[in-house]
Structure formats: structure tokens, C-alpha cells
């Protein structure tokens, strides 16, 4: 029950999230394809060297996954901070919406 829900007008965070999700999914598809091809290359002694390199490349892509996620979080954090600063300059106030025992800040 303790989940945070962010309601954002303008959709900036939603667009940023969709871009990072696309990058993350493309990386995952390439990762799966590289590991699959690498696995098939291990069936023959003649192609084991290339299979090993594909596994190394796939491992590097696994390293990239959390970097994509962290970059997304940093990017969204900067956008939120900038939006708060802009709202403060305009004199805008935060609006809270309550539903039952939960409170949402707009």
C-alpha cells in the first residue's frame, strides 16, 4: 500500500520514461540475440572463439542495463527539480489531492 504515485501535467516524465524504456528493451533484445547466437556457436569447436566473444559482448550489455536505469532516474530527478524551481519562480503552489488515507501531490 505504500506505493508512490506521481501525477505530472505536461507528460515530460512520461515521455522521458518511454524513451528510456525503449532503449532498455532494445538493449534486452540485442542481449538475448547475442547470447542465443553465442550459444549456438558453442556447438562447434571451430566457432567456439566467436561464441566466447559474443558472451563477452553480452556481459557488457548486462553491465549497461543498470546504467540505463540510473541515467533514467537522474534525468527524471533533474526534470522534477527544474519543474519545482520554475513553479517556485512563478509563485505556483503545490496541490494535494486526497483519496482515502493516501495523499497525492500535484
In the chain, where the domains are located: 12-105
Going by C-alpha positions, the residue among 35, 30, 66 that lies closest to residue 53 is: 35
| The pLDDT of residue 86 | 79
| Residue 43 CA, distance from chain mean position | 35
The residue ranking higher by pLDDT, 82 or 65, is 65
| The pLDDT of residue 82 | 84
Q: Which residue has the cell 532494445?
A: 26
* Residue 1 predicted with pLDDT over 50: no
Task: Give the predicted TM-score (pTM) of the model.
Answer: 0.66
Q: How far apart are the first and last CA of the chain?
A: 19
Q: Which residue has the cell 505504500?
A: 2
Tell me the three cell numbers of residue 28: 534486452
Q: Is 95 helix (H, G, I), strand (E, B) or coil?
A: coil
Amino acid at each position: 500500500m505504500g506505493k508512490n504515485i506521481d501525477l505530472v501535467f505536461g507528460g515530460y516524465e512520461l515521455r522521458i520514461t518511454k524513451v528510456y524504456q525503449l532503449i532498455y528493451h532494445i538493449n534486452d533484445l540485442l542481449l538475448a540475440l547475442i547470447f542465443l547466437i553465442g550459444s549456438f556457436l558453442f556447438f562447434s569447436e571451430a566457432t567456439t572463439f566467436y561464441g566466447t566473444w559474443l558472451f563477452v559482448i553480452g556481459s557488457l550489455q548486462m553491465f549497461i542495463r543498470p546504467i540505463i536505469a540510473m541515467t533514467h532516474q537522474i534525468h527524471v530527478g533533474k526534470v522534477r527539480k527544474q519543474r519545482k524551481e520554475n513553479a517556485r519562480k512563478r509563485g505556483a503552489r503545490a496541490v494535494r489531492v486526497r483519496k482515502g488515507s493516501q495523499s497525492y501531490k500535484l
